[in-house]
Structures are given as C-alpha cells and as structure tokens.
Chain A
Amino acid sequence: MSLSADDVAKIAHLARLAVAPGENAALGRELSNILDLVAQMDAADTAGVVPMAHPLDMAQRLRDDAVSEQNSRDRYQAGAPAVENGLFLVPKVIE
C-alpha cells in the first residue's frame, strides 16, 4: 500500500491538518508503512463474522428527561481563546 502525495493532501485536509509540501512525501512513506502493517488483516477469513463494535454485550442505558445543568458559562469559558458577549469568536464564516 502506498499513498500518493495527493492522497496525503486529501487526508490532511479532511483531518484539518496542515502538511507542508516538504513533509508530504516523508509522511506518505510513514503512513504507507503503517498501512502495510494493517494489510496483514487481509490474511484473515472474516466471511460471516459479525463485526464487534464493543467489548461488552450491553444495550444503551437511558436517562430521565430532566434539566440537571446550571449556567456555568463564565467558568467554562475561562480558558477560551476568544470570547465576546458570551460568544466564542472564530474567523468569519461565509455561508
């Protein structure tokens, strides 16, 4: 398995990571090595096997519909990088 520079750029964009053009090839090689390791899975015959999403055979527990949270905005926003009038600020979103 070998990822092209184009693949690396596409994945990086999906993951919102910046990859400098210079790092692209090296990163592609590292990722390809990992994918080679992963490719060992191909040896397993998994026909008819039920995928296991969870170690425990349990169903989702449900909580009662009750408001349990109080306003803690000031405390929760104490470490926020940019806040004004209680809003988190980000560069302009264009719709």
Chain B
Amino acid sequence: MELHERSIAQLSAGLRSGEVSSTELTKHMLQRIRMHDAALNSFITVTEELALTQAKAADARIADGTAGALTGIPIAHKDIFCTRDVRTSCGSRMLKDFVSPYDATVVENLQRAGVVMLGKTNMDEFAMGSSNETSHFGPVRNPWDRETVPGGSSGGSAAAVAARLCIAATGTDTGGSIRQPAALTGITGLKPTYGRCSRWGMIAFASSLDQAGPMTRSAEDAALMLTGMAGFDERDSTSAQRPVDDYVAALGQDIRGVRIGIVREFMGEGLDAGVGASIQVAIDELKRLGAEIVEVSLPNAGLSVPAYYVVAPAECSSNLARFDGVRYGHRCAAPKDLEDLYKRSRSEGFGPEVKRRIMIGTYALSAGYYDAYYLKAQKIRQLIADDFRKAFAECDVIVGPTAPSTAFRIGEKADDPVSMYLSDIYTIAVNLAGLPGMSIPVQPSAGMPVGLQLIGGLFDEARLLNVAHQLQLATDWHRQAPAGF
C-alpha cells in the first residue's frame, strides 16, 4: 500500500519499525500537494520548510523512544486555527497577510503529540458557508467531481483528506462545517461535544456553537486525532473540565444491543432519494451487526435552521467587530476619518456572505428586536436540546443523513443564500444542543459520496467512534478513493 493510503496506526507502526521516516513521509505528502493541489485549491498556505523541520524533530523522537501515536504524521490545519509565525487568513481578505503571534491550543496540543503540519487549508470565509465558495482564496473543488463543491466551511481540509494530500486534518464545525464537507467528499469527520476541544486560538464565528474536530479517513484515525486535540484548557472559560476518554480503547466493543435511533423527521421530505437509499443500506448493516433500531422524534428540529440564522449571525456580528483596521488585518488606503477607516476597511476586507451575516446579526440584536429574535432563538435552542434529551432516553446513538443531497455544482447555490443554508438542515440542531456529531462515508449515490450522520449524547464521543469503527470494520465504503488522486 502506498504511504498516503495508509491509516495513522499503520504509518505509526511503519515509523517505529524504521520502514519509513517522517521526513520521507512528509516529503511524499508535500510532493502530492505539489502534484494535485492546483486542481483542488485545498491549501491556502503550504508550510514546506516548517513541515520538514517538524518531521526531523519527529524522527528524533521516534529514535529516542519518546514518540506517541501521532508523532511524525503529516496533517493540515484549517486556516481558522492560529499558527504562530505562519499566515492565518481565515479564508478572508481581511486577514490575508495576518501572521499570528501565537498558536491555538488545538495546534499546540497536536504539536506536542508530534504531528507534522503540512500547511493551512482553504475554507469558507470566517467559516461562513457550506460550499467553500465564499473563500477569498477561491473555491475548493471536490476531488470526486471537480465541477462540484466539497462542502464547507472546512472544504479545504475535506478535499485534502479525501484526495490523500494529508493523512488527517483539523476542521471546525459551527452548524455542520466538519460533517457536511466530510459527507460530500467521502471522509470521516467528527464534531465533538461543545467544550471538548479548546476554542483558544480558533478564530471565532459563533462562540456558543463553534467546536474543533478531526477530519480523517476512518473512525480509528479520528479517535487518534481527537485524543491529540481534546482536553481541558484553562484559557477557554467554556472548556469542559473533565478527563478525555480513551477513544482508542473504546473502539473494540461490538455493537450488539446498542440502540440506534432513526429520526423520523430526517428521513422524509427534502431528502434526496439516492441519499436516502444509501442511508438505509447503512442502517441495515448496523442492524446486521446486532444494533437495535428504534424510531425517535425530534419535533422541533425543523426550527433549527431559523434559530441558527439568528444565534450564529448575532454572535458573529459581535465577534467580527474587532476587525476594524486598527491593530491588525486589512486597513483601507488613506482613510479620511475614523468612520471611513472602519467602514471601508471592513467592507473591503469582508466578502458578501460575511457581510450578510453581520448585517442579520446586527439587526437581530438591535433595540426592539432582541426578544423577538435572539431570545426567541435561545428558547428554541432549549426546545431542541430537550428533544434530544428525550430521544436519548430511548436510544444510545442517533443516525441519519448528514446532508440532504450529494455534492452540488459549483455556483449552483451561490446566488441563493437561503437554499445554501438548507444544506445544513440535519447538522445544525446538533450544534444548537452542543452534542457530538459525526459523519462517515456510506454507499455512494451515483458515484458521489454520501455521509451517514451519527449523533451522541453529551461527551459520548467514544461510543460514536466505536459504532462508526465497527461499521467500518464490516464495510469498505470508507476505503474508496476518488479517481485520479
């Protein structure tokens, strides 16, 4: 098997046995990026020199026996994570020349585990988008069909992992930004429970929803990556103060008797028939493996998109106020006064989707509208969380489609924000409730990847990973690779 096709565990074994060095592996991956990324545009920055330095350090650790499971593994970071002395653009013109003076905790944690950073991946601007078309650095193309989108906002990470340009990548998920692109590109993506991974150094979109997670080619790789990323961080007040579970150890349990909940509301109208059929095949497979299938209901899930498009823009309108052209980031030429500095710097620095969301959020919070919008949305959030609590009384894991269709064509929804927003119809409720959610590839539909979403109770990542892993042991949907890469 070629190096880039191997799992993290296989590569780790190869590194330890001396079959391959991290430097060789890193050079191999850098070569693949050079060869293939022009067609995909999945990277904004490739940090070749840094990668080789880190690979050398990893080789030293492997030699002296202090290496861990991730030491020497070449990965990529979504360009939303601050990386010290490396450009951190967040996919925006606003930060196109921003070199971060510090590292995000997730970056730091993975660095401590010994990973090699190949570069920073493309993304929707400030993580606002579901197609990767809002990036200032141009759209990312889906390696399965380059006329289609890879999903978003972590589209660069998804495409890079799917095309085997990196072994794994980090992503962030505010309304589906890890799971939806994972589904559209046929990879495994996990959004952990809110508070499981630190948000320090992860450029904020919507603070009460944002969460970092791994994007990999298998549940087993995801378990290893999450182990490296997760943990309490005293710099993040919303970080969960509880130990990280042993995700890898949990992978071995069989799933007989695990109660799998199928959400009635997710399997009906609006779901593409081909996608629905693939989801059913996966459910049948879970049943065959001994899981108990039950039907559950999330009666308020339909309100998740409307509530999300109040909460997320409201928080983003405030979070993005710091981009004012004063201390860092884009500043307009020759501002004539303070107001001109603010307005032109921000209008030149932000793209149309970011501006739309800032406007919506500003409006929703403004005097006279707070109760009708923001407060109402927070109440709906509570209703949705209650729905999940009730559902998890009847099942252990909820499964269903990640996205209503396979990858759509570039440009298809670009002019219709509302139809774009509905691509996240199955993922958003999970963020509103703070739950862990995962997408794994199942049987493709018309040659394009389909994602199965698994949703767990709070901090139930180990169980999600285990169910996903057991399904992946029994099937080979996750092993399929796009042609030409």
Contacts and interface: CB of A to CB of B under 8 A. Distances in A.
A90 B326 contact: yes
Nearest to A77: B327
Interface residues on B, range: 35 or more
Given A16-B346, A93-B338, A55 B385 contact: yes
A46 interface: yes
B309 A38 contact: yes
B346 A37 contact: no
Contacts of A44: 300, 303, 376, 379-380, 383
A31 B356 contact: yes
A40 B266 CA distance: 18
Given A37-B418, A41-B307, A55 B337 contact: no
Given A37-B421, A91-B338, A80 B327 contact: yes
Given A16-B324, A41-B310, A61 B381 contact: no
Interface in B281-310: 300, 302-303, 305-307, 309-310
Interface string A78-93: 1111100000101111
B383 A49 contact: yes
B312 to A, nearest CB: 11
Contacts of B326: 80-81, 88, 90
A79 B327 CA distance: 8
A53 interface: yes
B383 A15 contact: no
A81 B334 CA distance: 11
Interface string A34-77: 11111111011010011111111010110100000000100111
Given A11-B359, A43-B303, A91-B341, A53 B208 contact: yes
Interface of B: 97-99, 101, 193-195, 208, 234, 237-238, 240-241, 300, 302-303, 305-307, 309-310, 317, 321, 324-329, 331, 335-344, 346-347, 350, 355-356, 358-360, 362-364, 366, 373, 375-383, 385, 417-418, 421, 432-435, 458
Interface of A: 3, 7-8, 11-12, 14-19, 27, 30-31, 33-41, 43-44, 46, 49-56, 58, 60-61, 63, 72, 75-82, 88, 90-93
What are the nearest 10 A-B pairs in CB distance? A55-B434, A51-B378, A81-B331, A46-B379, A16-B342, A52-B382, A18-B343, A49-B379, A18-B347, A55-B194
